[in-house]
Amino acid sequence: MLIRKKIIAQIFIAIICLFTPMIAGAVSFVQIITMEKDGSGIIKLIYSEKESLVKEKNFVVGNLPFTKEKSAEYFNSSNTSIRLFEISKDPKDNTLIQITASMNFKDISSINEMKALPDAKVSITETDTGKVFVYTITPEFTKSNSISYLFTILTYNGVVKSSNGKIEGKNVQWSRSKEYIDAKKVMDFIATLESDVKTTSKDSGNKEKSCGLFGVELPLIIFLGFAFTKLANRKKV
């Protein structure tokens, strides 16, 4: 498990380096979500911005903090807690400040309780085909944080059945470039996950209930019928 997480982390650093070339005033935003079947897990964010702009914005760009002092305010909540917060220079561009933040969450549906992700909406719905995961990124989120490139990976501790992203084993990947983000579209990252919950229809439940009641009533009906027949025979005599 530890080795796998390290490999994933290295992949993310490589991705950041690959897509780092940026224009001023544009944030490259990468997030990796590791989710357990009960909805808990870890969310890791990697984002970078021009140092000159970060200083101009008093070390907070939109809802993204660039100092450790401000990290608790933006990443801790009743549902989340900080595991890691690191500040570094981008390996390919020393003018960029890069932040790596990792948080535990109790329930992924409530990650927007973090001040850093107020416009990140996550829902999980149990259906007959599985557990449907929907992560909605709004234009308000990308605009307020000056995001020009967005990359998201969901790693699920179970089976990923389908998605509108790219599936690789237990991982699903979604990416959106500046052109798509500038179009101000709502982005829905969707994945259907295998669920442990067994769904039963209401009709079958009613049938089982009816059968159960009839099973209790049948001996009583037979007994009463026998008693009335015996009483009637006595009256005839």
CA distances from 157 to 8, 154, 198, 233, 237 (A): 14, 10, 18, 72, 78
Q: What does the domain layout of the chain look like in residue ranges?
A: 2-193, 200-237
Kindly state the helix (H) or strand (E) to which residue 68 belongs, with its residue range: helix 68-75
157: DSSP letter: S
Instruction: Say how far residue 147 (Cα) sits from the centre of its chain.
Output: 20
Instruction: Say how far residue 56 (Cα) sits from the centre of its chain.
Output: 33
The percent of residues in the chain predicted with pLDDT above 70, rounded, is 72
pTM: 0.74
Q: What is the pLDDT of residue 27?
A: 87
Q: What is the pLDDT of residue 86?
A: 97
- Please give the sequence-ordered ranges of beta strands (E in DSSP) within the chain, or none if there are none: 27-35, 41-50, 60-61, 64-65, 80-90, 93-105, 120-127, 130-137, 147-156, 160-163, 166-168, 171-176, 187-193
- Over residues 130-158, mean pLDDT: 94
Q: What is the pLDDT of residue 6?
A: 45
Best-predicted range by mean pLDDT (62-71, 191-200, 215-224): 62-71
Encode pLDDT of 76-132 as tens digits.
Answer: 999 999 999 999 998 888 999 999 999 999 999 999 999 999 988 999 999 999 999
Query: In the structure encoding, which two tokens stand for residue 21, read together?
Result: 């070339």
Give the pairing of strands 27-35 and 147-156.
parallel
- Over residues 139-148, mean pLDDT: 91
Query: In the structure encoding, which two tokens stand for residue 212, read together?
Result: 């159960």
